[in-house]
Amino acid sequence: MTDYREILRLSSLGLNRSQIADSIGASRTTVIGVLQRASALSLDWQTAESLSDRELSEQLYPPSDGKPTYKMPDFDYIHKEMSKPGVTQQLLWYEYCDKCRDAGEIPYQLTQFKLYYREHLAKTKATM
């Protein structure tokens, strides 16, 4: 595990990034990343000295949920649009991606989009 406290301490002593990396046995890009995150959080050696290793680690790199959340398409709209001539699932997927990106949401890939659309059709399409 990277010693964030030592990186901040050596940086406060005026060592450059390469010297810090050599001193602690980490890559220079790791040192640069830690120093950039600490700078963005206004975290310096004096502040880090009073924190535990776990608290310092969680401040620099907060734990995430791990799974991104994707925007589910509006399948009723898609089904209505599919009845129009010249409209394909791929065109509707491009439109869906544009709407998601404009709203800052994560769209499904084309294969998942088609899979969920087929599942929607199987649930809602009543046949005799």
Domain extent for 17 = 4-60
Query: Is 54 inside any structural domain?
Result: yes
For the chain, what is the domain count? 2
Residues 80 and 42 in one domain: no
What's the pLDDT at 58?
87
Residues 54 and 83 in one domain: no
User: Would the pTM of this model clear 0.75, i.e. be above it?
Assistant: no
DSSP string, 7-74: HHHHHHTT--HHHHHHHHT--HHHHHHHHHHHHHTT--HHHHHTS-HHHHHHHHS----SS--BPPP-
Checking if the pLDDT of 126 tops 90, the result is no
**pLDDT tens digits for 27-69?**
999 999 999 999 998 888 888 888 888 888 888 888 876 777 8
Residues 79 and 117 in one domain: yes
**CA 76 to each of CA 44, 64, 82, 101: distance values in angstroms, whole numbers, following the listed order:** 53, 33, 10, 20
Residues 53 and 9 in one domain: yes
Query: Is 14 inside any structural domain?
Result: yes
Query: Is 67 inside any structural domain?
Result: no
What's the pLDDT at 128?
55
Query: Is 66 inside any structural domain?
Result: no
Query: Is 68 inside any structural domain?
Result: no
**pLDDT tens digits for 58-104?**
888 888 767 778 899 999 999 999 999 999 999 999 999 999 999 98
126 vs 11: which has the higher pLDDT: 11
What's the pLDDT at 46?
87
